Amino acid sequence: MTAAPGTGLLGFDHLEFYVSDAQLAAYFYRTAFGFEPLMYAGPETGVPDRLSILVGVGSVRLLLTSAVHHESPVARVVAKHGDGVKRVAFRVTDVDAAFRHAVAGGAEVLEPPHVDIVGAHAVKSATVRAFGHIEHSFVSREQGDIGAFPSAIALAPKPPLGDDCDIFAIDHLAVCLPPDGLQPQVDWYNRVLGLEVVSEQNLRTETTGMNSKAIAGAHFAVKFALQEPAPGKRKGQIEEFIELFRGPGVQHAGYLTSNIVATARRLRSYGVSFLPVPDWYYESLHERVGDPGIPLEVLRDLRILVARDETGLLYQSFTKPIHSVPTYFSEVIERRGSTGFGADNVKALFGAIEREQTRREPGP
């Protein structure tokens, strides 16, 4: 990891999800995505109100947290917002410097820098409000303690399940913002984290629309796709997210895989549902991207999307919403040179999500 100037930003450290049941979520992430349970914290380790399980694959770390009683603040968050991302933590070279930079940029302080001793490691962190009830933490770690978090104990390794999922890193996060929320949040990320706009896209269907900007920093190790609804005749998918999640939030995480075909097959074989992609997408694929690099029938069977830009190819596949309140979903992405976000695919996806949204709406 190379730090971005000024902020010392190195990359994503972990995502914390607040969920209804961390044990079930950990089981899901292990079975479906191949994440290994690594650490545990709860009443037995001195955390009275919550239970957290850290799961990981490659450099991806997800902290899955649920309440152990109804008075827990975690229970209130889940009751209001449903299951979803609560915290996006970044690895930084110097927590104090990153925190000072963030506060000077206007970030609201939630937790000033402090050190937690976790086993043999000292983990330094600080937390600011990002948007809505979502938080950003800055974390600095000693080498080798990628999974350490306060009050946690290591879990015994489980036997491997078989097929490898080949997920190795978080590529990007997509965020849903309220109407007119895009530019203020772009400016906030620029001041607070030094992230800069790398691309933008405005989409319209006959009835809905969205505006989005991709921002990046730390030499592309941190990337966000920020999205706001554009005025339309009916409620679009960004508005639906905001309504169901009761505020802005992380709509999806894109996980980098070294082998999208193996990953998509594994996820499907363990019951993960993917967004349908219309057949026309594959009929006209050659015209749009030339040689797609993977046999067309394999792409079509697994509903993998392909994009080509001046730097190369990328492949993406999007799951349907993972939780019962249909807000958050996952993306798997393989990059063969491309550093883009698959603008054409976002367009195709936008239509596909809209059809799914329509299917959920009560009939006449």
* Shortest separation between residue 234's beta carbon and Fe ion, angstroms: 24
Cα separation, 328 vs 29, in Å, equals: 14
* Shortest separation between residue 224's beta carbon and Fe ion, angstroms: 10
* Shortest separation between residue 174's beta carbon and Fe ion, angstroms: 5
* Shortest separation between residue 175's beta carbon and Fe ion, angstroms: 10
- Neighbouring residues of 160: CB distance < 8 A, sequence distance ≥ 6: none
Map the footprint of Fe ion across residues 210-269, applying CB under 5 A.
254
Map the footprint of Fe ion across residues 117-176, applying CB under 5 A.
174
Half-sphere exposure of 116 (CA within 13 A, CB side): 16
Question: Under the criterion CB under 5 A, does residue 340 sit at the interface with Fe ion?
Answer: no
Question: Is the CB of 149 or the CB of 341 nearer to Fe ion?
Answer: 341
Cα separation, 115 vs 84, in Å, equals: 27
Cα separation, 75 vs 20, in Å, equals: 8
Cα separation, 327 vs 174, in Å, equals: 12
* Shortest separation between residue 225's beta carbon and Fe ion, angstroms: 6
Among 16, 135, 240, 331, binds Fe ion (CB under 5 A): 331
Letters for 274-313 (x = contact with Fe ion by CB under 5 A, - = none) are ----------------------------------------
Question: Is the CB of 54 or the CB of 275 nearer to Fe ion?
Answer: 275
Question: Is the CB of 228 or the CB of 331 nearer to Fe ion?
Answer: 331
In whole angstroms, how far apart are CA 213 and each of 7, 114, 183, 195? 21, 33, 9, 11
239: left (phi over 0), alpha (psi -120 to 50) or beta: alpha
Task: Return the ∠ at Cα 237 (arms to 234 and 240), rounded to 5°.
Answer: 85
* Shortest separation between residue 38's beta carbon and Fe ion, angstroms: 25
Question: Is the CB of 147 or the CB of 249 nearer to Fe ion?
Answer: 249
Cα separation, 90 vs 125, in Å, equals: 10
Q: How many residues line the site for Fe ion (CB under 5 A)?
A: 3
Give the residue closest to Fe ion by C-beta.
Answer: 254
Q: Where on the chain is the footprint of Fe ion (CB under 5 A)?
A: 174, 254, 331
